[in-house]
Amino acid sequence: MFEKDRAWIELDREALVHNLNTVRRLLPEGCRLMPCVKANAFGHGAVQVSQVLMEEGVRDFCVACLTEAIELREAGIEGQILILGYTDPADFPALIKYDLSQTVVDCGYGKLLSSFGQPMHVHIAVDTGMHRIGERAEHVDEIAALWQLPNLIIDGVYSHLCVSDETSEESRAFTLKQKACFDQLVDELHKRGINGFMTHIQASSGAANYPDFRYDIARIGALIYGNEGTMEDQVPARLGLRRVIRLKARISTVRKLYPGDTVSYGRVFKADHEMLCASVGIGYADGIPRQLSNSWHVLVNGVDCPIIGMLCMDSFMIDVTAVPDPRQGDEVVLIGKSGDLEIRACEIAHKAGVNTNAIVSILSRRLGRVIV
């Protein structure tokens, strides 16, 4: 209810399913696709996205933290939900209550999980060079000892690639080194008779740029959403992915400005001729970067409209002089197509000096999410 009241995100269901199936074809035979729906599915809406994915047969999901996992369970998402980050021991009861899979962030943490005293599904994170989380891959004895601990149901062993998006010789060599390091650990475990766990190392760029890597699972975020990570990112086009997100808001008022009138806080915009100004009901509290103030544009009925003045928390103003008959309640497109024009999330990211994930992942919770 009220999803399209003021400002909202439209999720293109067909595009999402198309991307899902494209990634499935990209992965080696038998490799399970575990979509990454952390950070509210990169801002798209974790519940809405996961529901569509579940309808399309997905049974494995990963998220960053406990609260994200619980949100999905409470919305009825079934199957495996893997928490990629640290969970405070005080919250271990919730891992059991919601039947979640927890990452073992290092061997000491594995002992903590074990000593909680109830059987718990876990995946062991292994550090092969990113040095963010995971036990160092060389610590074979310590890692192997985790299988001796009670209560740990070890479903997986995984690592994460840190330069698989880069194609320089040095980055390719580093990625291959990470893979070799991981493979060696897995070999060592097998040699010690430790089996029955799944392996995973690839995320989006790993799957796109190293499709020959063969593991049991691939944790895929960005490719599912279809956005270019930066303006230079060729991967979505090469794979034929489609952008899932559209961001829209409504015009709340339309007014005339006369020469000399100024707009918004700080009065940085001054009208030098008579013009039409519209307020748009979305602002920086919704995740729209304040750097777009007075120097960006949006689309109204297929017409490009400059943003005038500083962005406010819940709204900003635009010049709608060129729009035929602009009205209160009209749709404004911030990301997506309008007529022949399109604004992509990566263009906004470029303007704001960040990557696309940093824009979409903070789109506010108060924006409605509508599947279209």
Ligand X SMILES: *Cc1c(COP(=O)(O)O)cnc(C)c1O
Q: How far, in Å, are 193, 272, 281 from residue 304 at the CA level?
A: 64, 19, 17
**Piece of 45-53, 146-154, 213-221, 262-270 that binds ligand X (CB under 6 A):** 213-221
Q: Residue 221 interacts with ligand X (CB under 6 A)? A: yes
Q: How many residues bind ligand X (CB under 6 A)?
A: 11
Closest by CA to 216, choosing from 239, 195, 236, 191, is 195
3-state class of 275 per DSSP?
strand
- From the CB of 64, what's the least distance to ligand X, in Å? 7
Near ligand X by CB under 6 A: residue from 6, 121, 219, 243: 219
DSSP letters, 122-144, are EEEEEESS--SSSEETT-HHHHH
Candidate segments 24-32, 168-176, 200-208, 230-238, binder of ligand X by CB under 6 A: 200-208
d(C-alpha 372, C-alpha 355), whole Å? 26
For the beta carbon of residue 21, count every other beta carbon within 10 angstroms: 12
Of the candidate residues 185, 220, 318, 334, the single one contacting ligand X (CB under 6 A): 220
Our finding on whether 251 is near ligand X (CB under 6 A) is no
Which of 72/263 has CB closer to ligand X?
A: 72
Neighbours of 238 (CB within 10 A): 9
Among the residue ranges 74-82, 202-210, 342-350, 360-368, the one whose residues contact ligand X (CB under 6 A) = 202-210
Residue 203: CB minimum distance to ligand X, A: 4
Cα-Cα-Cα-Cα dihedral sign, residues 276, 282, 288, 289: positive
Q: Which of 146, 222, 292, 317 binds ligand X (CB under 6 A)?
A: 222
198 touches ligand X by CB under 6 A: no
Q: For the chain, how far is it from start to end, CA to CA, in angstroms?
A: 15
- Distance, in Å, from the CA atom of 329 to the CA atom of 280, rounded to the nearest integer, reads 9
Q: Is 122 in the site for ligand X (CB under 6 A)?
A: no
Choosing from 36, 162, 249, 348, the residue that interacts with ligand X (CB under 6 A) is 36
Residues serving a catalytic function are 38, 265
Q: Which residue is nearest to ligand X (CB)?
A: 221
Contact in structure between 70 and 93 (CB atoms under 8 Å): no
310: Cα within 13 Å, side-chain hemisphere = 7
Nearer to ligand X (CB atom), residue 158 or residue 284 = 158
Stretch that binds ligand X, among 220-228, 267-275, 278-286, 299-307 (CB under 6 A): 220-228
- Smallest gap from residue 164 Cβ to ligand X (A): 9
Count the neighbouring beta carbons within 10 Å of the beta carbon of residue 212: 5
Give min distance, CB of 309 to ligand X, in A.
35
Residues of the shown chain interacting with ligand X in the complex, contacts defined by CB under 6 A: 36, 38, 84, 160, 203-205, 219-222
